[in-house]
Chains A and B, each alone.
Chain A
């Protein structure tokens, strides 16, 4: 039985959660058994998740600009509305319910949008299935668990599978299926520490800093004066019976087995020819571009990167803070895109945002509270840019059919649909996509069309 049929048979029988889980783990096991090498892919691609911690108020990112709709927007957002004079018009290729603009502090994004290197995905968020306002009002079991809670909603974005008892992330599950199991270095690279997105059943992210990797000072086996000490440390680790101690040992082994190859790879890459802003996100993206440039040395035909930016939980001072946040985000992404173009990687790398949730259209005086749906950005030369995908809310009137209450907008596109579109571009088969996103079939469209055909 060839691989394809094997999977088909597996999935043909799979209904419900436990069997979805079983299908995934069987496929992952099979990946292990095949000791898959990098031969599966003869091209290079990378995904870069830019996680906006705290819940980005993206309803101030895509703003209705014609008079009537701007008035509605302004009347609901009041003192949080971006002034009409500060709007930069954009012209999406697809028809929209109203004209749209970006705030002027996102001018680099306007430029990328106009160049066709940036797309927006409108009103996306955690969903268990497509729902209307009436349905969720009548049946709260249709709501995703712990709606409006930061960590639970982050988890939903990153797992795209809320029913799991021990959570794994969708990039981790992708790695379980397609990673090169002969390579000690994980396909998932995090420049921002531990995260669920990149945690699979069998795979974990390899984590390094925006500045790269630090080598061991007193435990470096390459230094002869350390060798006695290193061998004693190895013996101490072998002697450890406690499971938590063994888990700590495993981290050491992952660090030690990758440190040289990663450090050398980083050192081999030329400095960027463009300058990045001096912000934490830009520093992280700079390291992503470095690791992407070194993908051959790292033997990684596929890479998934995780970077993040904090501060989006704008309960207070939103008028002051949000322009700085979105400006920092825009300039960092812009520099990253320019660097990738200069390195000839722009069509191979797709960056995309995720964030806990959108925020309330209404104000709490000087900020906003936790909402639900929100807009996301997808950037790269493989993106069908210059357009807005998904569906913008019909209008910005409070208590509209999109409004779950106080301007918490019910998403019209699910996390699964968003992620599956990226996974398809990344090179997963339909069966693999269905295994990674067991709830995908609840939604009518598994490819939202924002990526070029691969």
Chain B
């Protein structure tokens, strides 16, 4: 709508200055002092309202807060995005290092999952580079590695992988793909690390794990796509993007890599070489230097180094026309809506293919296109099915952000997200993530040709657990329950700012509508919640407020980010 408004303004300006035609004989005008057509100063886009800002922040951060709403509504979406993109990445590794210094660990102790989760929650709830952290989380659900593996207790290694994702969130996809490929954590997770050239005598051939999954999940997908994300077809059937021969060829490319600094002599010494803080390096003796034929008949010539082979292979994937729609559509689904129109996907693909300056793979431009797209801005105004089920884990984060959560022990520790949400950071049970990007439950979703990926993990039992988590964290999880025990690790919400509004339920609900629902509360919901608030008239103010927050947080209206 904003763009349209600007267009009208410009058109009007042009007409007013240059279109004053008449039938009178043309008298040459003296050359005016100023040109008749002045290009107006770019009219600043009208600033978004607070509700619009909150709604935007629910896609562009871990959820709206009073401070970020104020900021966005005073800067506008575009400027806020630029500021966020320019912010340096806050590092999970650096946080862990600083934390470790304060902990006086015994010699045989080390940081564990608990501290890694604390790091993640602390960043999700409080980091200033919210957009980057949010996109990194989305990337962690595409470029999946998991603690459910041999390196699951490598706290720094996992955090370092997460930092890799946030460092590259606004960089180029090609660089992200290369750094993921050379990450020793990914190397262990999908077996590039230690992958050796063929040994025919022992029937040993290169490991196909990464070769397959990087195509299926991280770059091009199983079938050929149009730029709008729809499947290309031939005789009514989809067209496979690759076959087993291509997988084998890439498997040969990804040979010869090991921990940073490993040599031909130390190739087999896993523990001695172990280093998850630096990218893998190649060992020529273990690289297969035969010729390989990749996608689109691209040839990797014989007798090249592992690095040269890898560069061709990653370029081969990067330049495949599927990447824009395949990765772009997934990012739309993770951030904005489960069921984007083809046109929306096509616009995002176009940005991936060319950021306007001839650069392919510019992720900052892709993210901006996703978040500023007219379909994202219009939301349910133009499509009743717009939106997505919020990821259960992110409901917790938003609650704690929105109400300035803190803990008596002054840290943000939460160790059982997998129990409550069937999700935890870098905690998927396989490389296919917690839920499939295409999951459509039978019934009302499938019947309407929609998908709802997040519902794959919201089973009867997990819906109950998430609802109970929200009860513990609101009804019995506010600062009124604070105690003197500085070892108390509960994260408590703070409702102080709501208390002055308690005498005016309209004002209170308008505030919660903005903060939690991005202004989407309709009259019916307002009536229901007003009744709820009135029913609790006799109760303590904290009980009244927390009850209202709980009801909003479990409502289907909140559950669907829209």
A229-B551, A232-B528 known; A209 vs B461 contact (CB < 8 Å): yes
Tell whether B102 is near chain A: CB-to-CB under 8 Å. Answer: no
Task: Say yes or no: A365 contacts B195, CB within 8 Å.
Answer: yes
The answer to whether B468 touches A216 (Cβ under 8 A) is yes
Q: Which residue of B lies closest to A258 (CB)?
A: B460
Are B432 and A150 touching (Cβ within 8 A)? yes
Query: Which residues on the A side are within 8 Å of B532 (C-beta)?
Result: 228-229, 232
Cβ of A251 under 8 Å from chain B: yes
In the complex, chain A residues whose CB is within 8 Å of the CB of B557: 236, 239-240, 242, 245
In the complex, the chain B residue whose C-beta lies closest to that of A212 is B461
For A251, give its contact among B385, B430, B436, B459 (CB under 8 Å).
Answer: B459
Q: How far is it, in angstroms, between the C-alpha of A206 and the C-alpha of B459 when the chains are bound? A: 8
Given A249-B556, A251-B459: A244 in contact with B468 (beta carbons within 8 A): no
Report yes or no: B440 in contact with A255, Cβ–Cβ below 8 A: no
Task: Give CA–CA (A407, B205) in the complex, Å.
Answer: 11
**By the criterion CB–CB under 8 Å, are B204 and A363 in contact?**
yes
- A13 interfacial contact with B, CB 8 Å: no
> Which of B208, B389, B446, B529 is within 8 Å of A248, CB to CB?
B389
Q: Which of B10-18, B170-178, B448-456 contacts A (4 or more CB under 8 A)?
A: B448-456
CB contact under 8 A between A367 and B471, given known A310-B148, A406-B205: no
Closest to A213 in B: B461
Contacts of B75 in A (CB 8 A): none
Contact A245 B556 (CB under 8 A): yes
Contact yes or no, A362 B459, CB < 8 A: no
Question: Is A315 a contact of B191 with CB atoms below 8 Å?
Answer: yes
Instruction: Name the B residues within 8 Å of A150 (CB-CB).
Output: 430, 432
Which single member of A78, A151, A237, A315 contacts B204 (CB below 8 Å)?
A78
B397 at the binding interface (Cβ < 8 Å): no
Contact, CB under 8 Å: A405 / B551: no
A375: Cβ under 8 A from any B Cβ = no
B34 within 8 A of A: no
Nearest residue, chain A, Cβ from B562: A242
Minimum CB distance partner of B247 in chain A? A148
Are B551 and A232 in touch, CB under 8 angstroms? yes
Complex Cα spacing A233 to B471, Å: 13
Residues of A within 8 A of B529 (CB): 232
Q: Report Cα–Cα, A207/B458, bound state, in Å.
A: 10
Is A328 close to B, CB under 8 A? no
Do the beta carbons of B388 and A218 come within 8 Å of each other? Answer: no
Contacting pair B207 A364 (CB below 8 A): yes
Query: What is the CA–CA distance of A433 and B432 in the complex, to the nearest angstrom?
Result: 32
Is the beta-carbon distance between B203 and A250 smaller than 8 angstroms?
no
Give the most central of B247, B458, B531, B550: most A CB within 10 Å.
B458
B555 touching A236 by the CB < 8 A rule?
yes
Task: Determine whether the beta carbon of B524 is less than 8 Å from that of A239.
Answer: yes
**Distance in Å from the Cβ of B214 to the closest Cβ of chain A?**
13
Q: Which residues of chain B from 196 to 210 have a CB within 8 Å of any chain A CB?
A: 196, 199, 202-209
A365 to B200 alpha-carbon distance, docked (Å) = 11
Q: Which of A149, A193, A219 is in CB contact (< 8 Å) with B222?
A: A149
Interface residues of A in 113-135 (CB under 8 A from B): none
Q: Flag if B551 contacts A310 (CB, 8 Å).
A: no
Provide the A64-76 mask, 1 if CB < 8 A to any CB of B, else 0: 0000000000011
Chain A: minimal CB distance from B471 (Å) = 4
Which residues 346-379 of A have a CB within 8 angstroms of B? 361-367, 369-370
| Distance between Cα atoms of A76 and B463 in the complex (Å) | 49
Residues of B within 8 A of A251 (CB): 455, 458-460, 463
Q: Given A201-B442, A236-B551, A255-B460 in contact, is the A54-B430 Cβ separation under 8 Å?
A: yes
- Interface residue A1 (Cβ < 8 Å from any Cβ of B): no
**A217 to B472 alpha-carbon distance, docked (Å):** 8
In the complex, A208 has a CB within 8 A of chain B: yes
Tell me, yes or no, whether A400 is within 8 Å of chain B by CB: no
Interface residues on A, range: 35 or more
A370 in complex: contacting residue of B208, B535, B551, CB < 8 Å? B208
A-facing residues in B431-445 (Cβ within 8 Å): 432, 436, 439-445
Is B343's CB within 8 Å of the partner chain A? no
Q: B556 CB to closest chain A CB, in angstroms?
A: 3
- In this complex, which of A150, A248, A313, A367 has the most chain B Cβ atoms within 10 angstroms of its Cβ? A248
A379: min CB distance to chain B, Å:
25
Distance (whole angstroms) from the CB of A257 to the closest CB of chain B = 9
Task: Tell me, in angstroms, the Cα distance from A239 to B212 when the chains sit together.
Answer: 46
How far apart are the CA atoms of A105 and B251 in the complex, in Å?
32
Contact A246 B212 (CB under 8 A): no
Q: What's the least CB distance linking A360 to chain B, in Å? A: 8
Interface code B362-399, partner A: CB below 8 Å = 1, 0 otherwise? Answer: 00000000000000000010001101110000000000
- List, in ascending order, chain A residues with CB within 8 A of B550's CB: 218, 229
Contacts A76-B203, A242-B385; A247 near B444 (Cβ below 8 A) = yes
Given contacts A242-B556, A242-B560, A248-B455, contact A367 B442 (CB under 8 A): no
Closest chain B residue, CB of each to CB of A76: B203
- B84 within 8 Å of A (CB atoms): no
Residues of B within 8 Å of A152, CB to CB, are 222
Establish whether residues B458 and A248, one from each chain, have CB atoms under 8 Å apart when the complex forms. yes
Bound CA span A361–B445, Å: 42
**In the complex where A148-B244, A217-B468, A248-B389 touch, is A255 in contact with B455 (Cβ < 8 A)?**
no
Q: Any chain B CB within 8 A of the CB of A316?
A: yes
Say yes or no for A7: interface residue by CB 8 A criterion: no
| Of listed A75, A150, A200, residue having the most chain B CB within 10 A | A150
Q: A245-B556, A363-B204 are in contact. Are A239 and B465 (CB under 8 A)?
A: no
- Chain A residues within 8 Å of B2, by CB: none
A168 at the interface (CB under 8 A from B): yes
Chain B residues in 8 Å Cβ range of A76: 203
Q: Does A41 belong to the interface (CB within 8 Å)?
A: no
B388 with A310: CB separation less than 8 A: no
Tell me if A255 and B205 are in contact (CB < 8 A): no
Q: Is A241 an interface residue (CB 8 A)?
A: yes
B422 in the interface, Cβ–Cβ < 8 Å?
A: yes
B350 smallest CB distance to A (angstroms): 27
| Min CB–CB distance B368 → chain A (angstroms) | 26
Q: Can you sample 12 A-B contacts with CB below 8 Å?
A: A149-B212, A151-B436, A193-B456, A229-B550, A242-B557, A243-B384, A246-B444, A247-B444, A255-B464, A315-B209, A363-B204, A365-B207
Chain B interface (Cβ within 8 Å of chain A)? 148, 150, 188, 190-191, 194-196, 199, 202-209, 212, 216, 222, 240, 243-244, 247, 251, 338, 380, 384-385, 387-389, 422, 429-430, 432, 436, 439-446, 448, 450, 452, 455-465, 467-468, 471-472, 475, 522, 524-525, 528-529, 531-532, 535-536, 547, 550-551, 554-557, 559-560, 562
Known interface pairs A242-B380, A244-B560, A248-B556; 14 further A-B residue pairs with C-beta atoms within 8 A, sorted by A's residue number: A147-B244, A149-B212, A166-B442, A213-B461, A214-B464, A216-B467, A235-B528, A242-B557, A243-B385, A244-B385, A244-B445, A252-B467, A315-B209, A365-B199
Top 4 nearest A-B pairs (CB, nearest first) are A245-B556, A207-B459, A218-B471, A255-B460
